[in-house]
Structure 1
């Protein structure tokens, strides 16, 4: 059964203060020993290739176990850590347990980061930093499915941090009773991400990074998380990052905590904790075995008698408003989507009601009339195009306009072989860019993934994208350190130009397949129509996002 999310509730999310951004007192990595000293602990990393060290599973917060389950993350107790290790070097060469997935695999003790650094990093290098938030509909996802060793090897001038955060019910349990209560907290998973960014500010200097030059990057649910952190009252005041990359970010609708009440009660009942007041229910849920919670989460997702909202972010105030450009901080941004970006595959009206549950009958009628069946090959094709434009494709336009002279937009146009997402022959589906950027990465349910690898043409194409991304991380401009064969990427203001990301010819790896295109008049008109639909109705997606 398909389930919806409804995005962010920020009440109390950013009440924490960012600690001093001064770099940690410890020494940077010793190129001979692969050890980083954070002052409170020393970690030994792994030489993953000739140019890269990776430090797996560094904790950034206290384990969210026992009484901390379903509560906001607590900053890492460095006194506890220092006492526990007592000067010994901690092994950080093995991949950590990933966070509990929507179907149950994983560990609760998962508030960790993986840090990738150049092999020749030196104290005082002050290298720029990329922080990556993975996708997965806030329900699943494993950071090691999207590794960055080859990124650093290609450009050993950056440090990359990949974030683990709580998912599904453990990260996004919600009920309106959480207001004015200490029994639970909204959006624990997003608060995890925020605490990870705080950890970066405090500690990245020990790796040779510069906390003042942090770029935040995400794809799909990760990109939508990035959009929330871009809200001016969050990032501009906190200075957690200075640039952003948004891949398939979703337009949001304004969710309400009370919409989650039926799901909360269903979940609590399934876990054997449905009786009593909130305090009694939460005590029971905190003491419940993990198996009982994952069983309840699965039932919420799959049981046809369950309520329609799975646990993903909720919010009461408009944090990100695609049409309210005056609110945008003027940081540089790269933003785009795939050519046929969508996660829906059915009849239009049921899909609209599922994706945007607050659409009025008049709005649904207006959408049906604006996108008549006669304009499409099939009802399936109609649904995919309409929902793709409402959720993903037009977001590129809104964000590009909002950031004016500081935005570069793209259309990713290379089909992923055997995509897990519904797509028609020749179409480029959701998350296809992940396949190319991460060595043919394929993700599956319950934390499973594997790498198909890339051929020489695909590798050459991937290197072009990575070069643009890391040039942006280093300079705020994707062109400064691009590959010589790649075209100059024109900012969005130049005739609404966007860069089409696609492979070059097999017979000539020195020739780029990338090219510029202008938006068609029909595209501009359709996105203008999309923008007329009330923003608080737009954005629901399934808990299937990758």
Structure 2
């Protein structure tokens, strides 16, 4: 019986649940699957049922560290009773690395392979026959951090009480994306274990979401930043042959340079040395087994020391030759992708630069970049086109790392015969200084004023204007209309503009995208509008994509 300590505690909680309800006034929601009974909680409005921290795999502890997730199998108790799990409390997030190199990480738990389900209360009622579309959300955070509770979905289901939403937890940083140079199977090592967690969560959803009112033939995956990169990777995994979802939303796709297993050797050896696992003559298998014995704090200190040693030593997915045969854009250019309807886009000004030195800033994300390719970037992004060296550098990094990825994706999907939609998000996060619409700006609007911090922390800032509430509702309606029909226009609120599908080529109806913007004045007026992607900007994207094989993105 898996995770027996957790299971015993949940059985005790379930046995005394009636007394708990008496004192707290909460309402139990019960869902029964083939082998488990889950106890969730009903919202105060009575419209929503939430199940927090449903485990989808065995805890990746001990010898399971750095390995692919193991699916859960529950054995019935005496008298063939089903296992009862209390899933009302918000779970621990996965262990975090800091997004800021000056902050120590390590918060969270290795026992984190969970998911949260938000579903209409009526959808889990007995004898409910109609199954609802499902949105599965993969959080961002650079594959280093991220707490799914930072992006709450209760208000999405309250607004659209005919959708089931799932958010998933997956291993991060060194625990999810450590790469060993040879990846010896004798060591029980699996590259990309954090991505494999996501795959296992999707398999769990496919098998079980019907018990929670969801339709497992109408699943849309969604993610932002590293979550958007994950969405693309799911479209590419195993040669683009996937059967776990039918549509995809990819927001601000994170597109850094990726390495092969062999190229991680120096990084791996540094971590091993810093964690005191490098013995003379030891094999890779012995080094990995030693790392499995180390405390979380020891591994986090090693991971953080590695980043201070070399700022290009990120924890990212790798080209492992098994799940991924090459880097994402190379695979897309070859057509090795699952063609599904897509909604994608980026913010107006997103970029990640610290200086106006284009070579330095590009090599931070693309260390394989040659001098010849640096020169080509400077020709594609000449200072004369942007007014300053800083703006040229910011655009070169911003388009390559985030902004061009959406166009690359919709062009591929449209070529494959799937209707797809693209946006430019043009409303800044009002709690940030400055005028730029930065990376993750849409999250503030879509998730109740969220701002994420280090180590799984976050704050929610209440809206202060009716126009803010209106814009947030407009965004959620576009997104969930797409989830329901593959068309963001299907069930939107009155007064919003029609969002045209992307069309490849030239002409007045080609390259059109929605600019998402808050309205001004009347609370019933939308500020969003349709524009045509400038051909010069798209030409830059195409020119950069032609370098995908050499700069490894």
Q: TM > 0.5 between the two?
A: yes
Q: Give CA deviations for 1:327-348 in whole Å, capped at 9, x if unaligned.
A: 3433110010000121223221
Aligned to 2:533: 519
Q: Output the CA distance in 2 between the equivalents of 1:307 and 1:272.
A: 21
Residues 384-395 of structure 1 mapped to structure 2, 5 A cutoff: 384-395=394-405
Within the candidate set 41, 59, 66, 2:36 is matched to 41
- Using a 3 Å threshold, how does the CA distance of structure 1 residues 245 and 307 change in structure 2: closer, same or farther? closer
Shift of residue 318 of structure 1? Answer: 2.2
Report whether the alignment pairs 1:411 with 2:424: yes
The answer to whether the 8 Å contact 2:131/2:213 transfers is yes
Report the aligned-residue RMSD: 2.2
Q: Output the CA distance in 2 between the equivalents of 1:278 and 1:264.
A: 10
Aligned to 2:510: 495
Q: Output the CA distance in 1 between the equivalents of 2:147 and 2:139.
A: 8
Q: Which structure carries more relative contact order (alpha carbon 8 Å, separation 6+)?
A: 1
Residues 110-125 of structure 1 mapped to structure 2, 5 A cutoff: 110-121=112-123, 122=125, 123-125=128-130
Tell me the secondary structure at the aligned position of residue 467 of structure 1: helix
Tell me the secondary structure at the aligned position of residue 100 of structure 1: coil
The answer to whether the 8 Å contact 2:451/2:458 transfers is yes
Q: Output the CA distance in 1 between the equivalents of 2:266 and 2:315.
A: 11
The answer to whether the 8 Å contact 2:113/2:171 transfers is yes
Q: Output the CA distance in 2 between the equivalents of 1:49 and 1:169.
A: 40
In the alignment, structure 2 segments of 5+ residues that lack a partner are: 1-25, 98-104, 504-508
Q: Output the CA distance in 2 between the equivalents of 1:66 and 1:83.
A: 29
Shift of residue 372 of structure 1? Answer: 2.2
Q: Output the CA distance in 1 between the equivalents of 2:447 and 2:548.
A: 36
Within the candidate set 285, 289, 310, 2:291 is matched to 285
Aligned to 1:434: 443
Aligned to 2:132: 127
Q: TM-score, normalised by structure 1?
A: 0.87
Q: Which moves more between the two structures, 407-416 or 320-329?
A: 320-329
The answer to whether the 8 Å contact 2:327/2:552 transfers is no
Report whether the alignment pairs 1:300 with 2:315: no
Report whether the alignment pairs 1:353 with 2:363: yes
Aligned to 1:4: none
Aligned to 1:68: 64
Aligned to 1:321: 329
Shift of residue 477 of structure 1? Answer: 1.2
Report whether the alignment pairs 1:93 with 2:88: yes
Q: Which moves more between the two structures, 262-271 or 220-229?
A: 262-271
Q: Give CA deviations for 1:276-311 in whole Å, capped at 9, x if unaligned.
A: 22222222211111221122122222x3x3574132
The answer to whether the 8 Å contact 2:351/2:438 transfers is yes
Shift of residue 403 of structure 1? Answer: 1.1
- Using a 3 Å threshold, how does the CA distance of structure 1 residues 272 and 149 change in structure 2: closer, same or farther? same
Within the candidate set 239, 257, 260, 1:256 is matched to 260
Shift of residue 426 of structure 1? Answer: 1.8
In the alignment, structure 1 segments of 5+ residues that lack a partner are: 1-30, 540-546
- Using a 3 Å threshold, how does the CA distance of structure 1 residues 88 and 519 change in structure 2: closer, same or farther? closer
Query: For this pair of structures, how many residues does the alignment match?
Result: 500
Tell me the secondary structure at the aligned position of residue 120 of structure 1: helix
Shift of residue 538 of structure 1? Answer: 4.8
Q: Output the CA distance in 2 between the equivalents of 1:510 and 1:101.
A: 41
- Using a 3 Å threshold, how does the CA distance of structure 1 residues 477 and 34 change in structure 2: closer, same or farther? same
Q: Output the CA distance in 1 between the equivalents of 2:343 and 2:167.
A: 19
Q: Output the CA distance in 2 between the equivalents of 1:151 and 1:78.
A: 32
Shift of residue 215 of structure 1? Answer: 0.3
Tell me the secondary structure at the aligned position of residue 129 of structure 1: strand
Residues 229-248 of structure 1 mapped to structure 2, 5 A cutoff: 229-231=234-236, 233=238, 236=241, 238-248=242-252
Tell me the secondary structure at the aligned position of residue 222 of structure 2: strand
Q: Output the CA distance in 2 between the equivalents of 1:482 and 1:192.
A: 34
Q: Give CA deviations for 1:172-212 in whole Å, capped at 9, x if unaligned.
A: 11112214433311010000000000000111011011111
Q: Output the CA distance in 2 between the equivalents of 1:154 and 1:368.
A: 47
The answer to whether the 8 Å contact 2:184/2:285 transfers is no
Tell me the secondary structure at the aligned position of residue 517 of structure 1: strand
Shift of residue 32 of structure 1? Answer: 7.0
Tell me the secondary structure at the aligned position of residue 135 of structure 2: strand
Tell me the secondary structure at the aligned position of residue 465 of structure 1: helix
Aligned to 2:5: none
Q: Output the CA distance in 2 between the equivalents of 1:128 and 1:283.
A: 43
- Using a 3 Å threshold, how does the CA distance of structure 1 residues 83 and 524 change in structure 2: closer, same or farther? farther
Shift of residue 254 of structure 1? Answer: 4.8
Shift of residue 382 of structure 1? Answer: 2.2
Tell me the secondary structure at the aligned position of residue 509 of structure 1: coil
- Using a 3 Å threshold, how does the CA distance of structure 1 residues 283 and 370 change in structure 2: closer, same or farther? closer
Q: Output the CA distance in 2 between the equivalents of 1:514 and 1:406.
A: 21
Aligned to 1:368: 378
Within the candidate set 144, 154, 158, 1:139 is matched to 144
Q: Output the CA distance in 1 between the equivalents of 2:245 and 2:78.
A: 32
Q: Output the CA distance in 2 between the equivalents of 1:125 and 1:299.
A: 53
Residues 97-112 of structure 1 mapped to structure 2, 5 A cutoff: 97-102=92-97, 103-112=105-114
Q: Output the CA distance in 2 between the equivalents of 1:84 and 1:146.
A: 41
Tell me the secondary structure at the aligned position of residue 328 of structure 2: coil
Q: TM-score, normalised by structure 2?
A: 0.86
Q: Output the CA distance in 1 between the equivalents of 2:28 and 2:106.
A: 37
